[in-house]
Structure 1
């Protein structure tokens, strides 16, 4: 199981690099500000095809963000793109910024690519937070995280009521290492039942 999860992580990381560099997505984004590929890509803990990208831009406005959206669309050819303006939305767990959620096929696999344009201050905070998190994860915890992410990524409440950060916190802070223990952890810590 361990080697299968490592192989899956390597495969998805390679595909992600193809999307970012061969397809040229990162070049398109860099025209609009500093780019940071965050999330499971940065942590090298990929179990599904999802990229979290932050763009530092203190001068971004809606018009420019839609120009960026057009370039992203022409580059990766998504079947669907969702737009958010969190300067208006103020959703609790989301950054203050503009967002494109892109659903695209690459190498016959379905990918989700999240692009956030945020302030340079928030960009730095996001970078520092995930760098600190990466430093905290040891080899044993890494494998526990890969197993947990692989076992819950299809759950209907995942990315709606609980998130990857919950998995990281459960493993790092409380040594959670199984799906049953994680469900119990969510119930105790978050008052959330997965059954």
Structure 2
């Protein structure tokens, strides 16, 4: 079973997708949407212009009871554009594996931009399947080296390097984009 097939089971068989629909319109994005998952990570944007602290608490209760997370965070914040966004992040053991979930409650404009970004990459990879192979290989290599993490290298770093800078190997990626140490 592929990582995406496992993600589908988690989304639909646990009831997560249906539960999220009670808060708004769920939009799985990122590597899941692009079918380039290399590890157990689900990013879901939920269209919701009326999130409240009470709804945040209700969803928190559902997540805690259903997934029994090993780590959990929920918050309201204001992003760089001055928009209020809501976040739920958690880790849970499912199918004997650790999974990461990032649930963001955004407005339509933000979600549309995220989907367009994903769809542009997907289109380019369909036109040239070597790009998808290169992207997933670099992501897997970075993951193996412990370098694929929000505070090191992210998927967006890899997409940019492969699609904009024509980088084709992990070695070239690391040489061109050395981690800054402070």
Q: TM-score, normalised by structure 2?
A: 0.88
Structure 1: give runs of 5+ residues left out of the alignment.
1-9
Does residue 90 of structure 2 align to residue 99 of structure 1?
A: no
1:118 Cα offset (Å): 1.1
**Partners of 1:156 and 1:66 in 2: how far apart?**
34
Structure 2: give runs of 5+ residues left out of the alignment.
none
Comparing 58-67 with 109-118, greater Cα deviation is found at 58-67
- Describe how 1:1-195 pairs up with structure 2 within 5 A: 11-87=2-78, 90=79, 96-137=84-125, 138-153=128-143, 154-156=145-147, 158-187=149-178, 192-193=179-180
Task: Write out per-residue CA displacement over residues 163-193 of structure 1, whole angstroms, 9 at most, x where no aligned residue.
Answer: 1111011111122111111012214xxxx44
1:156 Cα offset (Å): 4.8
Task: Write out per-residue CA displacement over residues 74-104 of structure 1, whole angstroms, 9 at most, x where no aligned residue.
Answer: 22221221123222xx4x69x8511111110
**Partners of 2:31 and 2:117 in 1: how far apart?**
13
Contact 1:183 1:193 in 2 (8 A): no
**Partners of 1:80 and 1:157 in 2: how far apart?**
19
1:56 Cα offset (Å): 0.5
Contact 2:56 2:74 in 1 (8 A): no
Contact 2:17 2:26 in 1 (8 A): yes
- RMSD of Structure 2 on Structure 1 (CA): 2.1
| Structure whose residues are more often helix by fraction | 1
**Partners of 1:184 and 1:156 in 2: how far apart?**
14
**Partners of 1:156 and 1:179 in 2: how far apart?**
11
- Secondary structure of residue in 2 paired with 1:86: strand
Q: TM-score, normalised by structure 1?
A: 0.83
